[in-house]
Amino acid sequence: MGFRKDIILRLFSLFNFLKRRAYAAISKEIVGSPTILQATIFEGNGKISFGNNVILGYYPSPKFYEGAMYIEAREASAVIAVGDCTIINNNCTIVADKSSITIGKNCLIGANVEILDSDFHSLSGDRKSSDYECWPVVIGDNVFVGNNVKILKGSKIGHNSVVGNGSLVTKAFPENVILAGFPAKIIRSL
């Protein structure tokens, strides 16, 4: 019975994956053709562009079948740009609200990473107001971002840097460093 149950669960997961992957084709202004391995939802009124050989999702890696990636360029002014040969692992969330998120070439982005250019709510006064600031996020070329990392508005990660698992990036960092922590700080140079 265990073998039969395992087969049924795998077929159910595969069906859900294929159903969500079909939804990925319903998109906004998207330039380029990434290889989509995990179900991916594209939203927003802005522009999303991909370089050559970009891969969204990774098998085998956790949450491949039951998760989904979410990429949104919310406002018309928002831009998300992903460079050539970058791989973004499963269940990542990338949201450019009113500015931009740029991910360089040859990057490896771990599972469950969040990259956001905004707090999405005013920090004072009316929390429901759309009067809040968005700041661009820039991730340089050949950057390795570990799993469960959060990269917030105004962050910059220099070329060839590494971000440790579970880190919170809230500011600019130079090239060729390892950073980690909550909030992230430079651990050492490469």
**3 state DSSP class of 104:** coil
Active-site residue identified among 121, 127, 171, 185: 121
Phi-psi region of 160 (alpha: psi -120 to 50; beta: other; left: phi over 0): left
Judge whether 159 counts as a catalytic residue. Answer: no
Evaluate whether 136 touches 98 at the Cβ level (below 8 Å).
no
Smallest CA-to-CA distance from 150 within 125, 189, 182, 102 is with 182
Using CB atoms within 10 A of its CB, is residue 32 exposed (0-12), middle (13-18) or buried (19+)? middle
For residue 41, list its beta bridge partners: 70
The residues annotated as belonging to the active site are 121
